């Protein structure tokens, strides 16, 4: 399948492919498998002019892929990159890409969930899962067995709704890797040390046929067989006893019930004694009991100082303890030291998105498959950075708007408070003046009376 020249942005000496969606979905083919009822669309995210591959509906499986002009060989280093905007967030679903292994038989319309891939890379989040996958399918040069190797402790997913660029770098020169988000290194290390299971299987493994001997003692501590219960140990002593010092509160109402019929309750008009039985008013707490208490007073209990409970022998070190049993180690028939693991993960023949999601409004763009870190960095600079600048400016504008609204609201509240304070002051001043006037009048009348 030939791809339009518009999709081949990086035709240089090193193998490199840059797939964008400025010309639509050319070169991308939906899987014909009925499982993939979700169909991608071409659309521009809100606030951005660039077109991207959109997930339009939630709760569906999606499958689409695009063949590369030529397979890209990881033995010369492998750099994978793509833009992702989670317009509605990521609550439960995958937003990763699978880079399909070149085997000469793959056709995009035949994409399935078990289609062999060289690398799976990108966000996945649901429940306790929150990671940026980096999975290699490595073929043992000794046994020919293919096994998934997962990056341990991968980075978390960016879920703020902005466009982020995810980059995976696999370096054949020193067998190292790096995961970048927005060009910033989030995780890096050795291919031999940071993947599970390890790329190079261990030299030895536990013998699956080894059995623990029947007389093996693996209890480190045992009850002291020589210990005896003290003569004064009373196992029957109760845990609590009545508090003899407690006294019934003064005013306790022994004859009053704790609950009484609700005096305000009335029998419903539609109540039928024959069908519903004799009507009884609902109970309410006795208001007379609120102050002190009602009913039969019972002495409270307190911890029994003589209580010891059931006696058990103290534990001692087990003299027969042999330690934790483990099966013996035997040579691992699968052990091999692969000095160049990237030569055994397969060339990349296609980029594929094969996901299930409970969210919508994912936007994929600028898929890069390359041997060059510099080329991926160039795509980030030219294709992702303009999106970031637009979104950052919009975010700053929104933040400034919210701050201005908050400031205006605070000023209005302050003005309101000041107005209310002034009105209260004026009211109090008028009341004080009226009172003073009344007092002057009374004084004047008293003076006249004395004369």
pLDDT digits (tens, 9 = 90+) for 138-163: 999 999 999 999 999 999 999 899 99
Closest alpha carbon to 93 in 179, 137, 155, 159: 159
Task: Round the average pLDDT of the chain to a whole number and report it.
Answer: 92
- Asked whether the predicted pLDDT for residue 430 surpasses 50, the reply is yes
User: pLDDT by residue (tens digit) across 214-242?
Assistant: 999 999 999 999 999 999 999 999 999 99
Cβ-based neighbours of 209, under 8 Å, separated by 6 or more:
none
Q: Which two tokens stand for residue 125?
A: 């989040």
Per-residue pLDDT at 6: 37
Predicted TM-score of the model (pTM): 0.72
Distance, in Å, from the CA atom of 8 to the CA atom of 19, rounded to the nearest integer, reads 7
Dihedral sign, CA of 299, 301, 302, 306?
positive
| Per-residue pLDDT band at 8 (split at 50, 70, 90) | very low
Distance, in Å, from the CA atom of 438 to the CA atom of 433, rounded to the nearest integer, reads 9
Q: Contact at 8 Å (CB) between 27 and 66?
A: yes
């Amino acid at each position: 399948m030939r791809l339009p020249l518009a999709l081949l942005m990086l035709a240089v000496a090193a193998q490199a492919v840059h797939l964008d969606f400025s010309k639509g979905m050319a070169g991308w083919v939906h899987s014909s498998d009925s499982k993939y009822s979700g169909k991608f669309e071409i659309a521009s995210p809100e606030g951005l002019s660039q077109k991207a591959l959109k997930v339009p509906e939630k709760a569906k499986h999606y499958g689409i892929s695009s063949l590369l002009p030529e397979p890209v060989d990881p033995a010369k280093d492998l750099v994978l990159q793509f833009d992702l905007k989670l317009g509605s967030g990521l609550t439960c679903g995958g937003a990763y890409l699978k880079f399909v292994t070149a085997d000469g038989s793959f056709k995009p319309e035949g994409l399935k969930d078990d289609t062999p891939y060289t690398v799976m890379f990108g966000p996945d989040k649901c429940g306790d899962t929150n990671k940026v996958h980096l999975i290699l399918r490595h073929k043992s040069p000794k046994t020919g067995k293919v096994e998934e190797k997962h990056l341990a402790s991968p980075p978390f997913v960016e879920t703020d709704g902005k466009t982020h660029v995810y980059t995976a770098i696999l370096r054949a020169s020193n067998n190292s890797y790096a995961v970048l988000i927005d060009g910033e290194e989030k995780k890096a290390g050795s291919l031999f040390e940071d993947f599970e299971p390890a790329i190079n299987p261990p030299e030895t493994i536990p013998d699956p046929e080894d059995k623990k001997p029947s007389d093996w003692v693996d209890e480190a501590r045992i009850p002291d067989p020589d210990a005896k219960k003290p003569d004064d140990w009373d196992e029957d002593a109760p845990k609590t006893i009545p508090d003899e010092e407690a006294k019934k509160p003064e005013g306790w109402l022994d004859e009053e019930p704790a609950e009484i019929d609700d005096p305000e309750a009335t029998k419903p008009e539609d109540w039928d004694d024959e069908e519903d039985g004799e009507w009884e008013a609902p109970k309410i707490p006795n208001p007379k009991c609120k102050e002190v208490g009602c009913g039969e007073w019972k002495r409270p209990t307190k911890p029994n100082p003589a209580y010891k409970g059931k006696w058990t022998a103290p534990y001692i070190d087990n003299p027969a303890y042999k330690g934790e049993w483990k099966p013996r180690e035997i040579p691992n028939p699968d052990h091999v030291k692969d000095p160049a693991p990237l030569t055994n993960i397969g060339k990349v023949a296609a980029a594929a998105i094969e996901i299930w999601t409970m969210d919508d409004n994912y936007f994929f763009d600028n898929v890069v498959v390359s041997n060059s870190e510099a080329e991926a960095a160039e795509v980030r600079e030219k294709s992702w950075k303009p999106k970031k600048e637009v979104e950052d400016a919009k975010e700053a504008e929104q933040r400034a708007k919210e701050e201005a609204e908050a400031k205006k609201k605070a000023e209005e509240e302050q003005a309101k408070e000041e107005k209310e304070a002034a009105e209260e002051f004026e009211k109090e001043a008028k009341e004080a003046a009226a009172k003073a006037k009344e007092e002057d009048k009374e004084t004047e009348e008293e003076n006249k009376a004395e004369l």
